Amino acid sequence: MATQHEESALDHAVEEDEDFAFRLELGDVLVGAALLALSITFWVLGAQIDDGGEGSIGAATFPRGIALLLGIGALVLFANGLRQLVAGPSGHWVTIGRPLRVLMGIALMLAFAPAMRAVGYYPTMAVYLAATLWVADCRRPLLILAYVAGFLLFSKLVFEMLLSIPLP
């Protein structure tokens, strides 16, 4: 009989993952570039969402707004990292514990927009949120179910019912 304390082979492999360390300024440049690419992806994919009308606010407004804010932050991070690289090493290091979990989180983020376009917001968000919670060490199925149900209910009430913004 399995208990909550037993781990699958994947859990064990992820837990045994070694730390990954790199210079702070290099991390700022790489993360800034990656976030900028992600913001551009959100902007482009957000433009492809059917707004359901010709109003100024629709389903595409949220991902495009997030893309704009993310893009601004990414540019600031990228520019600051480049400035620090040119100035010389700061001597500060960044260490990422369990980097495989970080990569799994990135993969989930990258898959979200195309999956939402293919199967819709609610099924995609349910799977995405459950998987993200698992990657973040939440292993209690009832708690995951409660988080997912609560967030989907919140999305339905706020966006579709209160703001009349249809979600894809």
Please indicate, yes or no, whether residues 72 and 57 belong to a single structural domain of this protein: yes
Number of domains forming the structure of the chain: 2
Task: Identify the pLDDT of residue 3.
Answer: 45
Please indicate, yes or no, whether residues 36 and 92 belong to a single structural domain of this protein: yes
Asked whether 60 and 49 are in contact (CB, 8 A), the reply is: yes
- Name the residue range of residue 63's domain: 20-96
Would residue 167 count as lying in a domain? no
Task: Identify the pLDDT of residue 48.
Answer: 79
Going by C-alpha positions, the residue among 165, 101, 83 that lies closest to residue 137 is 101
Please indicate, yes or no, whether residues 24 and 87 belong to a single structural domain of this protein: yes
Please indicate, yes or no, whether residues 118 and 61 belong to a single structural domain of this protein: no
State which of 96, 113, 146 marks the end of a domain.
96
Would residue 116 count as lying in a domain? yes
Distances (CA, A) of 3 to 81, 89, 130: 46, 48, 20
State which of 67, 96, 125 marks the end of a domain.
96
Q: Which residues contact 16 (CB under 8 A, 6 or more apart)?
A: none
Please indicate, yes or no, whether residues 51 and 73 belong to a single structural domain of this protein: yes
Task: Identify the pLDDT of residue 2.
Answer: 44
Which of the 8 DSSP states describes residue 108?
H
Please indicate, yes or no, whether residues 127 and 90 belong to a single structural domain of this protein: no
Sign of the CA dihedral with 63 first, then 68, 74, and 77 last = negative
Task: Identify the pLDDT of residue 153.
Answer: 97
Rg, Å, the chain Cα set: 19
**Tokens of residue 25, six digits:** 């300024």
Task: Identify the pLDDT of residue 5.
Answer: 47
**Rounded to an integer, what is the distance from CA 13 to the centroid of its chain?**
22
Task: Identify the pLDDT of residue 54.
Answer: 61
* Interval 60-84: pLDDT, tens: 777 888 899 999 999 999 999 999 9
Q: Where are the beta strands (DSSP E) in the chain?
A: 20-23, 93-96
Please indicate, yes or no, whether residues 120 and 78 belong to a single structural domain of this protein: no
Residue-level pLDDT, tens digit, the chain, 168 residues? 444 445 555 555 555 678 888 888 998 999 999 999 989 988 888 877 766 666 667 667 778 888 999 999 999 999 999 999 999 888 889 888 888 998 999 899 889 989 998 999 999 999 999 999 999 999 999 999 999 999 999 999 998 999 888 888
Would residue 61 count as lying in a domain? yes
